[in-house]
Structure formats: structure tokens, C-alpha cells
Amino acid sequence: MMKYLELYKSRGLSIVKAKGQYAWDNEGNKFLDLHAGYGVAFLGHRNDKVVEYIKKQLDEVMSLTTAFDTPIREEMLKELDPLKPDDMPYVFLLNSGTEAVEFSLKIAKKITKRKKLVAFKNSFHGRTAGSLSVTWNKKYREPFEPLVGPVEFLEYNNVDALKSIGDDVAAVIVEPVQGEGGVIPARLDFIKAIREITKDKGAFMIADEVQTGFGRTGKVWAYQHYGVIPDIVASAKAIGGGFPVSAVFVPEWIAQKLEEGDHGTTYGGNPLAVAAVTAAAKVVKEDNVPEQAATKGDMFMKLLSEELGAHRSVREVRGKGLMIGIDLKLNPGLAIKVLQDNKVLSLKAGITTIRFLSPYLITKEDMEWAVNATRKGILETEGKTSSS
């Protein structure tokens, strides 16, 4: 009998249906899903517009390389245009966040003709060779070294650390909010300093918006909170409305320096993915998703801070928009289990943080549900800790 290779620890839960911000298990229990497939379902599970577009495309063309034109791609470009990163009219579609990062790094190396990369401690950029090389966690990285290099890891949010960036650096890659690292927003002076130094040294600034992008933080792109424009934006997760797709956005001056064969992908830009991005873009605009994420994120963080912030085991409630972390003075593993027992799905970030990646459809009642479940999780963790 075939067995699935379990590289992710089982949550002991069989999900059979999901819609909007909710999921149901095989016993009919309803869950508030603040895990959302590592944030993929930001526009809600089975978003009606996304499902409609994918079904329609299934009846037309399912498999097609981007060497051929197709009407859905023209529609996608039209719908994406008002949402594209500033001054970046070119996009290339791939399948996953790690591939978007890989391509971004390749672009920087090709154009600068340099090898060295700069990333940050607690960063996460993916698990393929190039993206893994700029991922901080040694548990992910060291068993597979040597990877792509050389790479220098600097302190996140430390402006002085940036002074070590030299003329040999091809790119500095940064998450505007570190997700896996603990839901840590970048400081304004830090992002501005990266932009100034990379311009001065002739290096690329790559914004990894795989988790932050497409409205989640209260702006279409999280870098827009900081008043800078990077050279490359890598995106995935929310941009497909639940369908596996990623994107790399570049300005014209970069596009002109790329040649046929510089990158390739069998499935990237396939008609179903393009249809999903088209629909997702329409939803983001028609539902004012970034504005909703900003308003609801403020409400959610305020509620969490008021109800849990003074608790002795809570170090900090932080985040941007609907990308929220509750940093504990305890290991969050048991608290996340208790959340699940109370029908709220969440995930870990860093070593001590509970991460909520809420769909934008979340309501105040949902937030109260999550707050109450989190309180129970913290109290039970404290009880276990004090008795051990």
C-alpha cells in the first residue's frame, strides 16, 4: 500500500471542506482557519470569483506554454496593471514562492555580474537550492550545504549592520515582514537604509513579498508602507486566490536586459494559473481588500492587545494588517494545539510566536473566537509549565 512521505508533522485532523475563512473536518466540526494553507487562502477558501474563472478556463484550454498567446493572459495583464508594484510593468509567472525567489536571485546575478548575496537572520525565502541559501534557519539549510553562495546574513532591523554591504554584492533580499522568523515588521529606517545602500553599491534590492503581498498587510505590497521602490518583487501565496502560482515583477530596464533562455518553467503561466490570478486581482480591487485588511488588522491587533497583551506570558502582539503574531515567553506548541482543540487553526512562527494569517473575510465575532481560544491556550501552557 502506498504511503505519503510525511515531511510535515501531522496535525491529526482530516479537513473535508472549506469555504471563506472556515474549514470543516470529517466529523462535521467547523474551524476558523487562521492558518489558511500558510496564508495561501487570504482571499478565502474557494473564493467564488476564483472558482468561476478556473472552471471557465477548464472548459477552454488547460495546458499551454507561454510561447503561445491566450486571451486569458491578456485579461490577466489588464486586471493586474493597477495592482502591479510601482514602476514594474513586466511580470513572469512561476509555480511557487521558492521559484519566484530563485528567478529573482538569478536576475540580480546576471545583470550585476556579481556572486555575493545578502540576507537577514531569521529570514525564510524557500527550500530549493538558491532560496534555501538565503534562508537563515540552519535546520533547513545545513544538511544540504554547500548551496549557492557566498551569502552574508546580517541582523534584521539593524541599520548599522548594513554598513558591511560592499561593492561585490549582487542583491540584498528582504521580507518587509518576516513571517517564518516570527512575524517581525521591518523598521522604516531599516528599509530606507537598504534602498539607499543598494543604490549606492549598484546592488539589487529584492522584496520577498511571497507572504506579505497582494493586500495582506493593508497595502497591495508591504514595501509600500515604507516609501521605497525595490528593484524586484517576488510574490506568491495570495496572488492566486488559492491556486498554486507565483510571480516576479520587474521594471522595464531590467526586462530589457533579460534574454530568451535566462529562465524557464513548464507549468509557470499555465492557463489555469493565469485565470486564478485574473480573478484574484478582480477580487482585490472590487472588495477593497487592502483597505479591509488594514481596518480589520487594526481591530484584531487591538483586541488581542487589550485582552491578552497584559498577560504575564505574552511578550508582544505585533504585525501589519492581517499578518499577526503573538509572541510568548513560552513555547507556543501547546497553545497552538489548544487553539485547534477550540476549533481555531493557527501556526507557529520563529521559536515563540503564534502566527495568524487570517483571510480578509474575518469578522469581529471570528476575532473574539480566536482571542478566547488563544487565552485558553496560553493558560493551559502556563499550567503545564508550572507543574513540570
40: closest CA among 363, 359, 269?
359
Task: Give 47's contacts (C-beta < 8 A, 6+ positions apart).
Answer: 241, 242, 279, 280, 283
What's the burial of 293, exposed, middle or buried (CB within 10 Å: 0-12/13-18/19+)?
A: buried
Q: Say if CB 166 and CB 117 are below 8 A apart.
A: no
CA distance 46 to 280: 11
Helix, strand and coil percent figures for the chain, each rounded to 5: 40, 20, 40
Q: Say if CB 327 and CB 377 are below 8 A apart.
A: no
Residue 148: left if φ>0, alpha if ψ -120 to 50, beta else—which one? beta
Which helix (H) or strand (E) element contains residue 173? strand 169-174
Q: Distances in Å between the alpha carbon of 292 and those of 65, 80, 97, 220, 359?
A: 36, 19, 24, 11, 10
Q: Residue 327 has what DSSP assignment? A: E
CA distance 100 to 277: 15
Residues at the binding site are: 97-98, 124, 127, 208-211, 265-266
**What's the alpha-carbon Rg for the chain, to the nearest Å?**
21
Q: Say if CB 321 and CB 294 are below 8 A apart.
A: yes
Residues at the binding site for substrate are: 127, 265
Task: Give 386's contacts (C-beta < 8 A, 6+ positions apart).
Answer: none
Residues at the binding site for pyridoxal 5'-phosphate are: 97-98, 124, 208-211, 266
CA distance 123 to 130: 14
